[in-house]
Chains A and B, each alone.
Chain A
């Protein structure tokens, strides 16, 4: 099963490689991984999407917690949560296709953020599924470039993961 793990870790050189190294050394999957500093510049927030049986996920969380740089860890799947991913996608937009693409972008509540003679660049956020659906709805031959951020997640309600 797919799990979203949220981590607070020391914003130190090498912290990211400790996490990614752990996954490769122990043969765990990473579907996506995003990391950036928080409001406290000494702390980074990482969202990691992985998959595996309950036993594997338990081992993954234990090994992550064991890393010296990891301060806190929450499995968002254990809680009500919100997940979002940002996608930038560049599509071929010839005159005859423009209107149709614009409509599709509106349906998916995306925004066209750059226009050239032959292309649109679209910004879209949502769950991974939604972004997949948008890509699926486009004519494959129109897609020039896809950039996805990987999932970011946060707990719903009053609960918060902070120091």
Chain B
């Protein structure tokens, strides 16, 4: 047994174990758990670990001190660690790695884990745990991390024997990144990190209870193709699965071959180029008029890597009333969950799209443009109302204008993270993403505070790229402490703060549905964001007039080595339009108070 003091600091008695095998033909190294941990992460090709030390992970931190294979990024709050790892994962496609201590270290991660779970982001989160012999004793900084995280992880593991540590880490990375990705928690008691065993990192992993599918059913694919080719009013609706499945290239090829119109969910933006003429913009609650109308009136709907979320479908009773639906998804439980599907294809989106393209090319079966030209004409009419029009000549800064200018000045090439609320919707509407993994936001869980730490994770992955966090003053302060992390590691992100002194989306709903009773949505006692940035060692700017927006953005973007907090004082009453109120269908959009539809 290890001696342990009040803080859970221990002195391992096996520290001086004889290394290098017993001399009986056993050439395997004997390593302590903490050393195994570090080796395993190296084997997995981990570049960054986002973490925060504490009693139960001190053996591991001691090993981190001695190694140079990967970098540990010290965050200022464990929630920040999960969001930063998440941002890194979304931008790179590689798993994000987190290391925190037991108890509060683990509970502080829960929001970030749930955020990743809802958007199917691969994370491997290592939580320290009290000694195995103390588990269940209400020990200092003990919490049932496995129990607390179980509903919001793809899977979790408690390591109870050091001999299982390497194998468990291998499994954790495999489960997190394969099939429909998701976060995996590995809970490691402190004594496991002190115990020793032979080190043997598995080359591959085979789990009898976990065999993710890849290929779609060939018969279903053929049936789907026939339905696709028979469409007179086709519509393609894609989601985050296309990005997670690295199928952007295949999607673009497939959609161009067909010539059909395409829309995307919030999570799928960038999978198909937003500037392409076939792209109708985002759909759903704050989607474009043309995308939602085309959804409502289509006769064949091709859903790819999307999950028919309630913010996307509107009222299910009114959803796509005339459409036969094809749904391609890797997760069988996504199929017919909310909307009954005519032709389901369970499989990896990339593989299924490749098959569909091959069949199209093989049979030289390209849809007859004459057949669906009237449909495209109808869509062009819907688009001609220009549903994203706003007052561009306003003196007061319009939030949409800031995003349009940012888009122009970055050539659409920046990595954009966001928080949650009005600014998030405006970013999705006005920043046109032509490439996947550039748009990084918490779509499913809607986690305020995500944007800043996520931007830090992205900037670490792509130090030479422009990374901007579009946020609001309410969201930003939820993880504001990560400005300190950005200073420590020199992460010159640009914070585009659309400051309307309200929780904008809450205020918008209160205006529309609660007769203007703005209950607790007004942000009083805000900090001076310029001084706040400066106090963390960054640069701050306040921009109060429309005419100054462009020059300020240019200046900030030119400051390559500075984190710039740009406090844009925006129109307090601006709302996000168009909008489908809850309980309404795609065809019942509300354009704006000034522009009602017949």
Q: A63-B333, A68-B175 are in contact. Are A13 and B155 (CB under 8 A)?
A: no
Set of chain B residues within 8 Å of A71, measured between Cβ atoms: 208-209
**In contact, A17 and B147 (Cβ under 8 angstroms):** yes
> B303-342 CB contact bits vs A (8 Å, 1 = yes)?
0000000000000000000000000000111011100100
What 0/1 readout, one digit per residue, does chain A (7-32) give for beta carbons within 8 Å of chain B? 00110011001100100010000000
Tell me, in angstroms, the Cα distance from A139 to B78 when the chains sit together.
61
Cβ contacts A42-60/B at 8 Å (1 or 0 each): 0000000000000100110
**Chain A 53-86 interface residues, beta-carbon cutoff 8 Å to B:** 55, 58-59, 62-63, 65-66, 68-71
- Find out whether the CB atom of B147 lies under 8 angstroms from the CB atom of A66: no
In chain B, residues 26-63, which have Cβ atoms closer than 8 Å to a Cβ of chain A?
none
Question: Are B146 and A59 touching (Cβ within 8 A)?
Answer: no
Q: Flag B143-179 by CB within 8 Å of A: 1 or 0 each.
A: 0001100110011101000000000000000010000
Interfacial chain B residues near A21, Cβ < 8 Å:
150-151
Contact yes or no, B336 A13, CB < 8 A: no
- Residues 291-311 of B at the A interface (beta carbon under 8 Å): none
A69 touches B209 (CB 8 A): yes
Is there a chain B Cβ closer than 8 Å to A163's Cβ? yes
CB neighbours of B150 from chain A (8 A):
14, 17-18, 21
Q: CA of A21 to CA of B150 in the docked complex: distance in angstroms? A: 8
B299 to chain A: closest CB distance in Å?
A: 24
**Does B207 sit at the interface, judged by CB under 8 A?**
yes
User: Which B423-439 residues have C-beta < 8 A from chain A?
Assistant: none
Asked if A14 and B154 sit within 8 Å, CB to CB, the answer is: no
By a CB distance below 8 angstroms, the chain B residues around A69 are: 209
With A21-B151, A70-B209 as given contacts, are A14 and B333 in contact (CB-CB < 8 Å)? no
B133 within 8 A of A: no
A25 to chain B, nearest CB (A): 5
Which residue of chain B lies nearest to A70 when distances are taken between CB atoms in the complex? B209
B147 and A68 contacting across the interface, CB-CB below 8 Å? no
Inter-chain contact B146/A14, CB cutoff 8 Å? yes
A17 to chain B, nearest CB (A): 7
Contact of A62 among B158, B333, B340 (CB under 8 A): B333
Q: Enumerate chain A residues within 8 angstroms of B333, measured Cβ to Cβ.
A: 59, 62-63, 65-66
Contacts of B210 in A (CB 8 A): 68
A163-B208 in contact (CB<8A): yes
Q: Which residues of B contact A65 (CB under 8 A)?
A: 332-333
> In the docked arrangement, what's the CA distance between A81 and B418, Å?
54
A9-B209, A14-B146, A163-B208 given; A68·B154 CB < 8 A: yes
Closest Cβ neighbor of B335 among chain A residues:
A62
Contact with B151, one of A13, A25, A55, A68 (Cβ below 8 angstroms): A25
* Chain B residues numbered 335-374 whose CB sits less than 8 Å from any CB in chain A: 335-337, 340
Contact B336–A68 (Cβ < 8 Å) = no
Residues of chain A within 8 A (CB-CB) of B147 are 17
Residues of chain A contacted by B207 (CB below 8 angstroms): 68
Complex CA distance for A94 and B175, rounded to whole angstroms = 61
Expressed in whole angstroms, the minimum distance between the Cβ of B186 and any Cβ of chain A is 13
Residues of chain B lying within 8 A (CB to CB) of residue A62: 332-333, 335
Closest to A66 in B: B333
A163 to B336, CA, bound (A): 29
Residue numbers in B under 8 Å from A10 (CB-CB): 209
Q: How far is the CA of A59 from the CA of B155 in the complex (A)?
A: 19
Q: Report B-chain residues with C-beta under 8 Å of the C-beta of A68.
A: 154-155, 175, 207, 209-210
Residue of A nearest to B154 (CB): A68
Residue of B nearest to A72 (CB): B209
Question: How far is A62 from B329 in the complex, measured between Cα atoms in Å?
Answer: 13
Q: Is the CB of B336 within 8 A of A58?
A: yes
Q: Report the minimal beta-carbon distance from B143 to chain A, rounded to whole angstroms.
A: 15
Contacts of B146 in A (CB 8 A): 14
1/0 per residue, CB under 8 A from A, across B249-261: the answer is 0000000000000
Complexed CA–CA distance, A109 and B331 (Å): 47
User: Chain A's nearest CB lies how many Å from the CB of B188?
Assistant: 15
Say how far B171's CB is from chain A's closest CB, in angstroms: 9
Chain A residue at smallest Cβ distance from B210: A68
A residues less than 8 Å from B154 (CB atoms): 68
C-alpha gap A68/B332 in the complex (Å)? 14
Cα of A68 to Cα of B175 in the assembled complex, Å: 9
Shortest C-beta distance, B136 to chain A (Å), equals 12
The residue that B158 contacts in the complex, of A13, A58, A59, A163, with Cβ under 8 A, is A13
Cβ–Cβ < 8 Å partners of A17 in chain B: 147, 150
Instruction: Verify A55–B336 contact, CB threshold 8 A.
Output: yes
Least CB separation from A13: chain B residue: B158
Question: Distance (Å) between the CB of A107 and the closest chain B CB?
Answer: 45
Docked CA distance A151–B242 (Å): 43
* Interchain nearest-CB distance for A67 vs B (Å): 8
Of all chain A residues, the one with the shortest Cβ separation from B147 is A17
B118 CB, nearest partner CB in chain A, Å = 13
In contact, B337 and A59 (Cβ under 8 angstroms): yes
Residues of A within 8 A of B335 (CB): 62
Chain B residues with Cβ below 8 Å from A14 are 146, 150, 156, 158
User: A21 CA to B335 CA in the complex, in Å?
Assistant: 21
Shortest CB–CB separation between residue B168 and chain A, in angstroms?
Answer: 11
CB-CB contacts of B265-282 with A at 8 A, as 1s and 0s?
000000000000000000
- Bound-state CA distance A25–B331 (Å) is 18
Query: Contacts of A163 on B, CB cut-off 8 Å?
Result: 208
Give the interface centre of B151, B155, B209 by most chain A CB atoms within 10 Å. B209
Complex Cα distance, B208 from A9, in Å, reads: 10
The CA of A68 and the CA of B154, in the complex, are separated in Å by 8
Q: Distance (Å) between the CB of A157 and the closest chain B CB?
A: 25
Nearest CB in chain B: distance from A85 CB, A: 27
B531 to chain A, nearest CB (A): 45
Give the residue name and chain of the A residue nearest to B208 (CB).
A71
C-alpha gap A58/B333 in the complex (Å):
8
CB within 8 Å for A66 and B209 given contacts A14-B150, A17-B147, A21-B151: no
Q: What is the bound-complex CA distance between A66 and B154, given in angstroms?
A: 9
Smallest CB gap from B179: residue in A: A66
Bound-state CA distance A62–B336 (Å) is: 11
Q: How many whole Å from A109's CB to the nearest CB in chain B?
A: 39
**Bound CA–CA A68/B207 (angstroms):** 9
8 further A-B pairs in the complex, CB-CB below 8 A; given A65-B332, A68-B155, A70-B209 = A21-B151, A55-B340, A58-B336, A63-B333, A66-B331, A66-B333, A68-B175, A68-B207
* Nearest 8 pairs of A and B residues by beta carbon: A62-B333, A68-B155, A71-B209, A62-B332, A68-B210, A25-B151, A63-B333, A66-B333
List 6 interface pairs A-B (beta carbons < 8 Å), by A numbering.
A14-B156, A58-B336, A59-B333, A65-B332, A68-B207, A68-B209
